[in-house]
Structure 1
């Protein structure tokens, strides 16, 4: 079934008939008037988020008090005040920040755009001059379906992170190509891909493909069905539980707790009745998600109890919530109270009186000690960082229990410690640090601590106690660029270009804007993290100076990782910031192609094993489309694709003097500077795979 939206001829931008002309823009402010559907039921524009000064580009139900959001670009972040969205002839919808830089645009726009239309079904449609729709929000859903909306094979909904956090959550609704509609979960923190399928419509028929499902339909009457290729339908909803659409608004949302719910709301009401859940899938998510490979419905070490279809998360007896999103810190005070009570029951009145006094005094000391341990700000002389004891960090990480990852300098653990507005932290235990004097170590750490840039992971504190050297960072909850690029879900072209730009700007800051120039020496996708809005944040910067020369990654004095090491490391020449430029160039090619720099030959993947060589061959032969096969958005941005490839080739020149500075690389990526045709990057030697 396919719905064709016929648009009225576009005249002036009108809020009465739902049409929006090319060139019309909306600012992200509280006073901007959204683009309304003809009935006024739906609005398109910016909604201000709670508790901050950010706005979300979205579509919402406009006539109810809650202004419930039913669509937003799922691969973008909330934007700051003064950002704009407009209809552009070449790109359709374009979202820009206050400085005019493009943050997001509608994909797959190949025809000249004539305007947009906010439909009374809640579908925003972009059309060309013959009124044919060429993009629509219904075909690019976020976490919600509306009546008349269809999800095709390989279509999906993605939950948000929380009720008020619209970044990508860990639950997915997928219409698989085998005909099944499934709910599954992806453990982002563990970078494992999909962990558990916890609901299945059972509409696949391998014996007879014509009996398999191929569409999820939210009918105009309000029922959700899986349509089979033979015309039969499997109804998911029980029609008697659904009130009529003429009197009620409807939506079906994959909520942040992983439950797919169908809701209704009366169109005529007094007060604020809110949404009512008619049905939900699965019936019991606490039982459906066992969490043997993931973290279950409620997370690690927690108890899930169902209440009206909603998972209620509780700690085991004797434990309390250390953090609403991580219940994992034991509450020792309860155990101590039980012990004291037991002693009191068997003692005389006088002894009881003495014990009560001692216990109260002891609890005061314990409580004050905890406050001192977890909340004190101990700034060492001359440093801008908090100085922690080893015991404090061991306590914060629950004995270094939850490992986040391993790198060139040691192991990183997740921890919880109140530090102003930051609670969750990442603690890196440095296991290869030269045993310099305490003053020299702290001087180097202080250099890192003085860096402040949106594309760097922020260092919060350190521990320098005997043999223990630890660094405390802010926690990045969306993992590494490596897991993002090479995982199951391929990031779209716009996301990849924004990540590349963020890395470039972070390196330019380290090289040219810090009081002390910092060479990273190990730029690779594993050392680039993603924050809650998927902004690129460079980690491990400045640690190269702390690495012992005779304990670096290889048997030579080379610092870095196979596939990313600049040629000058192999020669007796001075190492400069250009080694980072080379590594960035390789990483840029990985971001463009979503392919690793060196294919592991042991597993039989021998074709084009060296990414840099393959990219140069494709570029020289005019076959850039081979680099982004099936990537429609990248193929439609041929000029941008060519510009990014040429910048990458310039950055990996064997002659370091030919490589641009990171500042110049940023300007070329942004299109500010012209990118000239690059020469062969390795005219003298072939790529060395021996390291």
Structure 2
């Protein structure tokens, strides 16, 4: 997302924030001077904000350890946003928090020792109060705020909480309750907001992109104020000119910006009905860009979800903790060169710790010999096209990505068995077991690693439940392995970082769909069936034709398998077995948009506008925020699915195209899309950009307003006139009216079935957006990001009728 230039002064911002913080309080529970809260009564002895959003008190995670914390009251898991004693939990008996007569707030353990206290000794602090903002404050009788939790954030920033040069967000440790982790958000000495891995061995910056300069990252280090804030609408801005918006930007939504355990910074929005959180922005779409996530020597791979693995010749240091990384199964000595060999790992690199001089314009042999001559060299990275050589004295921040142009040559003793294995590029996947995308691309290295780590896992497992259970488990696994004729599996020993994306067997999906009964859709590429998985998830199984081209199948798997957004259909996995090609998606209850626009199922205006906005958000994510830029290439009502609340989800990525971020356009071997929704550049054989999706979106938005097919290629014939499509005639007339500032005649344009129940402002905006999107000159079309911002301006348009869904 490209940040806009902003004028940002801490002096102009601070009074506004302080004002909103100080005056958001109303009467509520108060801890008076000389009073205490006890850990034994942690469920009832709490402070609650006036609007009941936040609760403050003792928080336990099982056992006898408790933390004095603030959490969201009505979330499904009582999400904690601040902790006083995150690294020093107190005992479950006899511990208390007291506002002492000295004016200090003091947390004591069962033995009376002070675990934590505020710096307010010798003040006239009279009360401890929790504000509606989630800010815990100590006040004097004036009332004046003498201390506030907003000045001491832990891993979360709340709306109107200011982040300054003296503050930072520190992630929690994985599996370690609230203990401080290794990932930080903070202002660096050059005034730039950054993410850093700060581990026991190294510290490493990883966001914004450390390969780029401050200005290439579209930041500035000229502003020395070092201040950032998230407002109540979901807009974040920083003094280094970085800013972003929540995908559901608007008032009335509870939000939190959290430095997560996996090293990613994410903005969450609360769903009121379920009490669950949804991600509405994140700093890094690809977790393999997080430094330190797999520890020393570890490699992060996309399978297509990010997972950690060890390179050949290495094994996990601790089977349950990737922060400890991998350790070598050999010992290096400064020996003769013939005792060493190099193992090529394509598209793989370790960031940093470059040791070889004269690294540019170096031959491969020079690079190899330089590493052989250096006993501390563990391998070297070589980029053939640029003749760049980088020797590695330490192996940290490893990752494998198809887009990386270099090869890592790992230095190993010649006797290491793993030296016979290689990592292949995975750029041309097929359906063999060795090229299963859910197992990390097409690498035989993963087969060896999977087996080794599996045994490491089983050994750990055996220490817990005994050797007999392990043998039973292994026997059952072997039978299943033989039954499905899979050459090897990458399951045990790997800890998935994010999702449940996996490979299904044909028999599993046949059973889930009751032998492919209950067809719910049919298209040119195949049929879709409703199914239920053993874990009770309802899914849609897309069964592609037996002769269906491999390109479309893998386009869906490689594209949507990597991405996750509330306005994109979620893919749970796939089946690639023999001649069978199946894709498994989340089931979306209310079918596709065309069923409600062009049939008797009338959809109300409120939902029409939400569908236009949600679709724009999904496309903006694909075009601007995704791991790789994605052009959908077939945006139309048939590919916009509606869930039970009529929230839109973009589906059918069979024609989608992945673009590298350093590529501004792409050539396609054939035309893609659906007539009527295809941009002119397809027919003109021009380079294809994301503006083809903008064009298709514009046609669809006009159809949302009209409730009829404008995309039909119905030719209007008139005497002595060229043949024109209905869409062309409509657009020309709308342009004429807009340019002349005339009334668009919304009563004649909007779907008559709505019987006048619609927002005139929203309808006019959609028409104007639609017209701007279908400009023949693609350079005149807006971006999806700008369209989202336009639509958000009228998202909360008042006094609209509730939506009607009539059969």
Shorter-normalised TM range: 0.3 to 0.5
TM-score by length of 1: 0.39
TM-score by length of 2: 0.34
